[in-house]
Amino acid sequence: MTEAKAELKNDRFLRALLREPVDRTPIWMMRQAGRYLPEYRASRANAGSFMDLCMNADFACEVTLQPLDRYPGLDAAILFSDILTIPDAMGLGLYFETGEGPKFKKIVETEADVNALPVVNMEAGDLSYVTKAVSTIRRELNGRVPLIGFSGSPWTLATYMVEGGSSKDFRKVKAMMYNQPEVMHQLLDKLAQSVTGYLNAQIDAGAQAVQIFDTWGGSLSDRCYREFSLKYMEKIVAGLKRESEGRKVPVIMFTKGGGQWLESMADTGCDALGLDWTTDIGNARSRVGDRVALQGNMDPCVLYAEPKIIRDEVKTILDSFGQGTGHVFNLGHGIHQWVDPEHAKAFIEAVEELSPQYHG
């Protein structure tokens, strides 16, 4: 056994995703390595920029491990990277403006632009800095907890590529979707192929679970969600490696604002669904039954409250899910940069202390 494939000492997270018995509800936080941590801000300053942080395997490893060192109760690490690495590898030129979020030097506006986009080729070395980061993190974790790999969903990536950055009204991407659906399908198909190869390469490099982030699927109508978002995530799930190192590699699908589609999402073949805070987790469990595990789903803004309020909210969510396995505790979206790290600690410790009573 190589050092990078050290025996896993805590597999609570993986077992819960597969609805196997656990001693307590596992917990991790979306964006757990991020700006709310002073050690992260110091690392980013040392790296020089956000992209330098992502593209240097040692820096990416350093910040991935920071929340685990601060909070021993966390049950998973998540690769430190960005969802927009794929459009960048397609030649769009990702960059970040302070206070404005991600932007692209090139924008996808026409059918010719879509035709010119390559499918990301991991075997040819595209995004090798990401797979190097995965293998480095796995080595340094040395079996402490599992490592999660991830990607943005095709619809979410397309949104950024067509809008040129973040958007509030999705004017350009929805205009393309309605006016030129065949062009949008061509773009989404290239992205689905790219995401499938990208996630499989992360699994080969050592990721032990993967998550598909569909940040903007909730902006779509019912028909359009099924046709332009869910369909392509289902293609990705069908193309993923589901076993590595002798154990299953669970797949988590997360659509922000997607509570109305849980049954259809569960039909894709994924192992778990991420929930935002707008869906009651007990209601979600009654709808999907034992087909998938559920991940979530505390409102990140609860972490601005006092520790007692945080603890009460943790208990409310645990009560709603009820007895048994199949729940991974998480926030309903990424932790905010202004959260006091001590409040995040209170959150994690509340899950540690309160959840054992819900398990056999």
Would you list which residues are annotated within the binding site for substrate?
A: 31-35, 82, 160, 215, 333
What span, in angstroms and rounded, lies between the C-alpha atoms of 258 and 262?
A: 7
**Which 3 state secondary structure label does DSSP give 21?**
coil
What span, in angstroms and rounded, lies between the C-alpha atoms of 22 and 12?
A: 6
Are 67 and 33 in contact, with CB atoms under 8 Å apart?
yes
Question: What would the two tokens of residue 149 be?
Answer: 């790999």
Catalytic annotation, residues: 31, 35, 44, 82, 160
What span, in angstroms and rounded, lies between the C-alpha atoms of 310 and 167?
A: 31
H or E segment at 351? helix 341-354
Count how many Cα atoms sit within 13 Å of the Cα of residue 259 in the half-sphere of its side chain.
16
Amino acid, single-letter form, for residue 248: K
Question: What would the two tokens of residue 336 be?
Answer: 């905010």
Between strands 251-255 and 272-274, the pairing is: parallel
- Greatest CA separation found in the chain? 58
Instruction: Calculate the alpha carbon distances from 50 to 34, 45, 77, 188, 289 in Å.
Output: 11, 9, 19, 27, 41
Cα–Cα–Cα angle for 24, 200, 111, rounded to 5 degrees: 120
DSSP state of 91: I
Residue set of the binding site: 31-35, 82, 160, 215, 333
- Peptide bond before residue 330 is cis, with ω within 30 degrees of 0: no
DSSP state of 221: -
**Which 3 state secondary structure label does DSSP give 285?**
helix
User: Which residues are CB-contacts of 45 (< 8 A; sequence separation ≥ 6)?
Assistant: none
